Structure 1
Amino acid sequence: MIKKTNTLKLTVSALLTAIAIVIPMVMPVRILIEPASFTLASHVPIFLAMFFSPGIAVAVSIGSAVGFLLASFPIVIVLRALSHVVFAYIGAKILYNRREEILSSPAKSTAFSFGIGILHGGAEMLIVSLFFFGIFPGTAYTEGFFYVVFLLVGVGTIVHSMVDFLLAQFIWKSMGDRVLNLSKKIQK
């Protein structure tokens, strides 16, 4: 049973990581206002991974950052993508025992999505702040701190995160009992 479970975890991790790597490379809907970028569905594999387990969520988050790196995004955006490990791990830990309760209630799933969006946006704001204040040589931004960090990155990330969570939730629910049974096997 242990070997079968490990194979399932590896397979799900690999598939979602592959999708997370490819999305930034091929997604046609992309808004880039550096240091902010919004690539449609870029968080969907991470959210789907969160529905399975914290380990899978972390692996897929790292894979997503690799995808942004391979797609030649600026380093600030790659590091923002790497910060997804924080919200993915915490969100997956919350969902681990309460997934069905949270996802079956529109109010609870919206509250969860908003809370994760705030954590997500906060981590990305921290990364951009390091660049804004020139902690990395040659990378200081000249636009206003409030505009760049709070509006573009903070609020923009919360909205983008919530949209992608909604997409992931729709995909998860549309897969039905098969994916639910698979996730229960992985969580054992």
Structure 2
Amino acid sequence: MLDSLFAHPRRVFGAIALICAGMLAFGILYLQNVVGLEPCPMCIVQRYALIVVGVFAALAAFSKGPAGWRLWGILGVAMAAFGAFTAARQSWLQWNPPEFATCGRDLFGMIESFPLQRAIPMIFKGAGDCSAVDWTFLGGTIANWSFIWFSIFIVTILVTLLKLPARRGGVMPA
């Protein structure tokens, strides 16, 4: 069954794009607007990474051949790896919270107040709000679930790209 799915790269990339859109809708519409959770700087970085993965997957889904699938797929893997790294770092902060938890500036406040070369390390250092666990599902935090989904996207895209025929190979089904 999986072989038939991976035989249609456009469908795989389309599914990833839809899953990304669904996750964004869940995070923004439900967790932020209904539950009332405010995203921390690392959550915002993960949200942007998810948006970019979804856009790259959509571009790959609209591509008509292996060259486009490879380009957008590799870019999607790179961005998903960045998102997974950010989620893993936040998970680590949640499991090992800093001794003195203080709420730092939000992402935009950091970028406005500091040069980018200082703001980026501050984001990954995390603040007290980045180590807070405000919501869980089946024992996993939002950061844990983000890491799992970014990892699933990486593996799925890589398997899809590995199943593509060689560059000189035959015609791929849509």
- TM range, normalised to the smaller chain? 0.3 to 0.5
TM-score (normalizing by structure 2): 0.35
Q: Which has the higher contact order (CA 8 A, sep 6+)?
A: 2
TM-score by length of 1: 0.33
Larger Rg: 2
